[in-house]
Amino acid sequence: MNEKKEQLKKELKEAISQITEMHSLNELKVEYLGKKGKITELSSNLKEMSLDAKKEFGKILNELKEEATSLVEEKRKEIEERLLNKKLESEKIDITLPSKKVRRGSKHPMTRMIEQFEDLFVSMGYTVYEGPEIESDENCFQKLNLPKGHPARDAQDTFYLENEYENFLLRTQTSTAQVRAMEENHEKGPIRIICPGKVYRRDEDATHSHQFMQVEGLVIDENVSMADLKGTLELFCKTILGEKTEVRFRPSFFPFTEPSVEVDVTCFKCGGKGCSLCKQTGWIEVLGAGMVHPNVLTMCGYDPKKYQGFAFGTGIDRFAMFEYGIPDIRTIYGNDIRFLKQFDRKEEQNEVK
Amino acid sequence: MKLSRKFVSDYIEIDNNLSIKDIAEAMTAVGNEYESASSLLPCTHLVVGEILECRDHPNSDHLHVCKVDIGSEILNIVCGAPNCRQGLKVIVALAGAQLPAGEIKKGSIRGVESNGMLCAKCELGLDHKFLEEKDKAGIHELPNDAVVGSDPIALLGLDDEVIDFELTANRGDLLSILGMAYELGAIYKKKVKDIDVSYTQNREDIHDTFKVEVKTDACPLFLAKKVKNVTIKESPNFIKNRLIASGIRPINNVVDISNYVMLETGQPLHFYDASRLGDTLIVRDAKEEEELITLDGQRRTLAKEDIVIANQEGAIGLAGVMGGLSTEVEEDTKDIIIESAIFDSIRVRKTSKKILRSEASTRFEKGIDPKRTYMAIERSCALLEKYADAEIVGGMVEYTTLSIQDTIIDISLEKIKKVLGISLEQDTVVGILEDLGFIVEQGETLKVTVPTRRMDIHMEEDLIEEVGRMYGMDQIKGKLPLLNVVTGSYNKTRREIKNKLVTLGLSETLSYSLIPKGEVTSFTTDTFTPISLADPMSEDKNTLRYSLLYSLKEIYLYNKARSQEDICIFEVGKGFYKEEGVYKEENKLAVFMTGDYYLDIQKTKVDFYIIKGVLEELLDYLGYQNRYTLEVDTNIPKEFHPGQSASIVLQGKRIGVVGKIHPSIVSKDAFAFEISLDKLLENRGTRMRYKDIPKYPEIKKDLAFIVKKEVTSKEIEAVIKKTGGKLLKEIEVFDVYTGENVKEDEKSLAYSLTFTDINRTLTDEEVNEVFKTVISQVEEICKAKLRDK
């Protein structure tokens, strides 16, 4: 029997080695392992055998079946692999042809800038506060220590509403949010807000637009000082403009803060070496800030003996112009689709600079 | 304020080693920003020369060829000036000289070598208003005694340097040379020198011949003195040059002195020709419609808020702003009345805003130190005596309601620390305050007497600012505030809306709130009161927008003009209106789409169903699924296509409009929607809740109906839904067809219905039962025909 087995195996091996096509393999399988196949038929001998011989024969037969099957399956795998490779080869495409697009929109650069500001300050416990764009003269000026006739009003050419001269206006500064936030805080307790938004002034050229955007920050608490203001603005400027940015305080004047400072940062273009953007000074003015004036605290119902606070404000347009290298503010409000669509991706350095 | 270095050096010693930039930077560091800091004349390499020889140029009919002695050598220079002649002392710009017009180079002019340029005064960079005709007509003729080889600018007395400051509104005191001297003195720790106010008076008394009547409360202090027999002539050079460096044009000695003293003290003066003025001067409010011819020859019509100086006949000057023509000092003037006064800053500001900003009004607006009012009148007498041969009449007319008092403020080191966040030694603080000219009395706190010139200092915080700015605000070391931990927040929904629209392929715009008045009612059928401006910059930006769609349409047109026609944009902004006297602002979202849009991965032209898809995707994403409907509405803005537009209705309330832009507005196929975010967000969705996932298989069945064109899909869906019952889970329109095999006035709509039951497997029989009912009901109610497969 063993001889017979070896002979059949050899025969099968030879036959398999000749095969290249799947259907021939299938036929061969039937020929040997099918119901009437050469191997299967061997079991007909079993009937006449003794029990022991049966056992012996059966074992060998099973071994033969297994071995034959694995020979066929091996071949099957080989053919399948070859067929698959052939198929893959035939499916080769030119991957350099243009893709089928999914349309991608874009967020306005100013929105992107505001979201950066919001994310930073919200992470420090500030609430984003938004006031109305139509304001009273009282909130926009008087309660910010700018009474009627104050010369500092000249710096902000105001759009008054029709028949509302020195009464109702389009806000010229987001500082009005200071007044609202303090007045709306009925407990007269601590405040931590930023207020981004549109402001309007009667002025227009390459660096001024009659409508632009500012963000105002206000912190009121029992123990906040100029040093806290500086630390906060250092963090702000480093986060937005880059880790290497340095911040400089220069004394200045705003009616609603005392002391007041203007805040310069190392020039983002030249890094402080001096260039045309910073007029060779190495510094660029980006913010106005100071300690909330005691008169403002008092007018908004706070006790200046108990509370003090700091406030800061900046033009978002300026930051966006710096951030993206936009030379003319009018581009920002021009809404050329070719401008807008440039802002259709995540910024590489969005997280850390 | 232009600060002349020479002028301020009369009152404070400044180290010669400091450059003008150094001084400007030092002033900036204490809060006084500057625009520019440079030499008065921006010229280099100039030298006094003498023309030894002047011959005609061989190849020109007007050029001269000169041999010019400049001390160290003799130069050959070609010159075209008509007054060029032998023996003349001239200003020579050497090769390499920088002049406002450029650099002087060696060269040859029409074949003759020229090694420099002979200069006219107008070539040195002096402002036009300081130039006379002769300064432009030919080269400048220096006096005969000018030393060859010396510096001609010094010889002219124009070797000055100027810082042009941009002062803050609170520092009116710095609008004077003396104020600047105090500030520089505090920086460089130098004492301010005394001003010379000495003169002799005659035995007459002004009160005998002249009186002042103040009839308004807008003039708290008025001083007048009289001088006689002045000689009107040219001012001495130092006065002229200091005025020029300060940006004021010299006229004659008397007028120049009034300006000179104003620059020194910050107190504007006015000189009247005494004979033309008469014996009484009245200060009063102007009468309504009163007329006055001002110094510049203009006839001005005044209003009650203006303050005038008048005599018995009428107004002769606009107080604090400009004098009148009738009493002007002229060539033949002999006797003068000097006015030194304070006028109400707010009223001067109003008048000057209306009529004219002058050097005087600028100073009145910022406030005047009354001590300077006295100082200025004395100083002008001293100078008039010295430089205009004036005889000073005894006595001074004085009207005052002021009591001049020093401000005394307590300041503590503890408070300084609390505000600035730094600890300073008492000595440091006292030193700073004393350098500023304040008097400090040391005790438990510091008692500080503030001089009257510092009108900006009223309270402890003001003094802390003084300490901070002189110590150096930048010396403060930043730290992060120690505050209670609180949660911050921002408008998340608005950000979600923007993010969603961006992922749907739309670009965000940012346009102006101000639009033309005539457009404020476009893209809406609401009735409202629009809000306009009192004083707009232009007619196309005079009213606040109500709808954002006008702006988006304009953006489309702008882009179309630049051949950009695939425009899919949105904006979130406010609509403004007035309601029952109250100004209202409503948050809105507007979307505008036209041209190509990528749908799945295919480029498709935007149509109604695309923008409807964008709208639904947004609203469904925000949680409004099944809570809103689009409804055909006859009350649609006229800017929309009546047959391709709908109202967006949320729980019975109209919150917006969607549709095709009317072809008369935009000729190409363009679509838009606008919704009120405020109205939308009033009805926020409920929290997201888990629903069981069906365990049993769904059965899908498709069918198509042919109906009349006017039958809406919504009507058919309603019938299907009703007859489908609770087994019907979903209806989807998967095809809309018109054309072959469908009559002209009909359309075919194909639906895919999904049946399922959460508790069991459905049998074909029961689904078929329902399906048949659906067909028969739709056929009956919608007059539909089932379409054969």
Q: Does a structural domain hold residue B437?
A: yes
CB A171 within 8 A of CB A133: yes
Q: Does a structural domain hold residue B482?
A: no
Instruction: Tell me what pLDDT residue A353 has.
Output: 44
pLDDT digits (tens, 9 = 90+) for B297-315: 999 999 999 999 999 889 9
More confident call, A347 vs B93: B93
CATH architecture of A109-343: 2-Layer Sandwich (3.30)
- Residues B337 and B439 placed together within one structural domain of the fold: no
Of A192, A249, A252, which has the smallest distance from its Cβ to B474's Cβ? A249
Domain harbouring B290, CATH code: 3.50.40.10
What ipTM score was computed for the predicted complex, to two decimals?
A: 0.85
Sheet with B407-411, edge to edge strand ranges: B407-411, B446-450, B439-442
E strand segments, B580-693? 582-594, 596-599, 602-605, 628-631, 640-650, 653-661, 670-676
Instruction: Tell me what pLDDT residue A52 has.
Output: 85
Instruction: Tell me what pLDDT residue B599 has.
Output: 67
Backbone angles phi, psi at B569, to 5 degrees: -135, 160
Distance, in angstroms, between B549 CA and closest chain A CA? 14
Q: Does a structural domain hold residue B740?
A: yes
Of B715, B748, B747, residue with least CA distance to B731: B715
pLDDT greater than 90 at residue A325: no
CB B263 within 8 A of CB B174: no
Please give the Cα distance from B256 to B254 (Å, whole number). Answer: 5
CB B430 within 8 A of CB B179: no
- Residues B375 and B438 placed together within one structural domain of the fold: no
Instruction: Tell me what pLDDT residue A280 has.
Output: 83
Instruction: Tell me what pLDDT residue A352 has.
Output: 45
- Residues B624 and B663 placed together within one structural domain of the fold: yes
Q: Would the CA dihedral through B652, B658, B660, B666 be positive or negative?
A: positive
More confident call, A237 vs A207: A237
- Residues B367 and B267 placed together within one structural domain of the fold: yes
- Residues B50 and B33 placed together within one structural domain of the fold: no
Residue that is last in its domain, among B384, B400, B416 = B400
Sheet with A127-128, edge to edge strand ranges: A127-128, A191-200, A211-221, A308-315, A283-292, A257-266, A247-254
User: Is B111 buried (19+), middle (13-18) or exposed (0-12) by CB count in 10 A?
Assistant: exposed
Residue B98, token pair as written in the block: 């920088």
E strand segments, B158-279? 161-166, 201-205, 211-214, 221-228, 269-273
Instruction: Tell me what pLDDT residue A54 has.
Output: 84
More confident call, B287 vs B693: B287
Determine whether the interchain pair A125/B537 forms a contact, defined as Cβ–Cβ distance below 8 Å. no
Please give the Cα distance from B564 to A338 (Å, whole number). Answer: 8
Of B168, B666, B724, residue with least CA distance to B465: B168
pLDDT greater than 60 at residue B373: yes
Of B144, B153, B334, B369, residue with least CA distance to B228: B334
Is B587 part of the contact surface with chain A (CB cutoff 8 Å)?
Answer: no
Determine whether the interchain pair B168/A101 forms a contact, defined as Cβ–Cβ distance below 8 Å. no
Residue that is last in its domain, among B682, B708, B737 = B682
- Residues B674 and B574 placed together within one structural domain of the fold: yes
Domain harbouring B749, CATH code: 3.30.70.380
Residue B312 CB neighbours (<10 A): 10
Of B124, B122, B136, residue with least CA distance to B160: B124
Residue B144 CB neighbours (<10 A): 9
Number of domains in chain B: 6
User: Is A107 buried (19+), middle (13-18) or exposed (0-12) by CB count in 10 A?
Assistant: buried
Q: Which residues of B touch A107 (CB under 8 A)?
A: 498-499, 502, 508
CB A297 within 8 A of CB A330: no
Q: Would the CA dihedral through B150, B153, B155, B161 be positive or negative?
A: negative
What's the pTM value of the predicted model, to 2 decimals?
A: 0.83
Q: B139-148, B317-326, B490-499, B690-699: lowest mean pLDDT where? A: B690-699
Please give the Cα distance from A249 to A228 (Å, whole number). Answer: 13
Please give the Cα distance from B412 to B303 (Å, whole number). Answer: 49
Please give the Cα distance from B14 to B654 (Å, whole number). Answer: 74
Q: Establish, for the pair of chains A and B, how many residue pairs have beta carbons separated by less than 8 Å.
A: 259
pLDDT greater than 60 at residue A351: no
Of B489, B535, B562, which has the smallest distance from its Cβ to A128's Cβ? B489
Of B617, B585, B655, B625, residue with least CA distance to B730: B625
Backbone angles phi, psi at A28, to 5 degrees: -65, -40
Model confidence at A156, pLDDT cuts 50, 70, 90, reads low
Residue B86 CB neighbours (<10 A): 13
Please give the Cα distance from A330 to B704 (Å, whole number). Answer: 55
Q: Does a structural domain hold residue B612?
A: yes
Residue A144, token pair as written in the block: 């910010």
Average pLDDT on A101-117 reads 91
More confident call, B448 vs B686: B448
Residue spans of alpha helices (H) in A91-99: none
Distance, in angstroms, between A313 CA and closest chain B CA? 17
Of A180, A190, A168, A188, residue with least CA distance to A144: A180
Average pLDDT on A3-32 reads 87
- Residues B289 and B362 placed together within one structural domain of the fold: yes
Q: Does a structural domain hold residue B228?
A: yes
Determine whether the interchain pair A338/B564 forms a contact, defined as Cβ–Cβ distance below 8 Å. yes
Instruction: Tell me what pLDDT residue A348 has.
Output: 60
pLDDT greater than 60 at residue A349: no
- The single residue listed with the structure tokens 């948050």 is B587
Average pLDDT on A233-248 reads 91
Please give the Cα distance from B342 to B499 (Å, whole number). Answer: 60
Residue B26 CB neighbours (<10 A): 15
pLDDT digits (tens, 9 = 90+) for B591-604: 999 998 876 666 78
Please give the Cα distance from B779 to B785 (Å, whole number). Answer: 6
- Residues B614 and B634 placed together within one structural domain of the fold: yes
Of A124, A226, A337, which has the smallest distance from its Cβ to B559's Cβ? A337
Average pLDDT on B48-57 reads 90
Domain harbouring B417, CATH code: 3.30.56.10
- Residues B146 and B168 placed together within one structural domain of the fold: no
Q: Does a structural domain hold residue B487?
A: no
Determine whether the interchain pair A121/B562 forms a contact, defined as Cβ–Cβ distance below 8 Å. no
Domain harbouring B647, CATH code: 3.30.930.10
Residue B332, token pair as written in the block: 């033949």
Most confident of A46-50, A100-104, A346-350: A46-50
Residue B231 CB neighbours (<10 A): 12
E strand segments, B286-371? 291-293, 299-301, 307-310, 315-318, 322-323, 336-342
Please name the residues between 460 and 499 in chain B that touch chain A, using a CB distance below 8 Å: 461-462, 464-465, 468-469, 473-474, 476-491, 495, 498-499
Longest C-alpha distance within chain A, in Å?
128
Average pLDDT on B718-723 reads 91
Determine whether the interchain pair B350/A149 forms a contact, defined as Cβ–Cβ distance below 8 Å. yes
Of B541, B568, B602, which has the smallest distance from its Cβ to A210's Cβ? B541
Q: B107-121, B569-583, B633-647: lowest mean pLDDT where? A: B107-121
DSSP letters of B700-752?
EEEEEEEEETTS-HHHHHHHHHHHHGGGEEEEEEEEEE-STTS-TTEEEEEEE
Amino acid (one-letter) located at B336: I
CB B310 within 8 A of CB B339: no
3-state secondary structure B447-487: EEEECCCCCCCCCHHHHHHHHHHHHCHHHCCCCCCCCCCCC
3-state secondary structure A108-171: CHHHHHHHHHHHHHHHCCCEECCCCCEEEHHHHCHHHCCCCCCHHHHHCCCCEECCCCCCEEEC
Q: Are strands A283-292 and A257-266 parallel, antiparallel or unpaired?
A: antiparallel
- Residues B205 and B280 placed together within one structural domain of the fold: yes
Is B532 part of the contact surface with chain A (CB cutoff 8 Å)?
Answer: yes
pLDDT digits (tens, 9 = 90+) for B731-763: 999 988 888 888 888 999 999 999 988 888 888
Residue B402, SS3 per DSSP: coil
- Residues B184 and B133 placed together within one structural domain of the fold: no
Determine whether the interchain pair B29/A294 forms a contact, defined as Cβ–Cβ distance below 8 Å. no
Round the average pLDDT of chain B to a whole number and report it.
Answer: 92
Determine whether the interchain pair A127/B490 forms a contact, defined as Cβ–Cβ distance below 8 Å. yes
- The single residue listed with the structure tokens 């005709």 is B133
pLDDT digits (tens, 9 = 90+) for A295-320: 999 999 999 999 999 999 999 998 89
Q: A105-114, A321-330, A335-344: lowest mean pLDDT where? A: A321-330
Q: Does a structural domain hold residue B196?
A: no
- Residues B53 and B140 placed together within one structural domain of the fold: yes
pLDDT greater than 90 at residue B241: yes
Q: Which domain holds residue B519?
A: 492-682
Q: Does a structural domain hold residue B691?
A: no
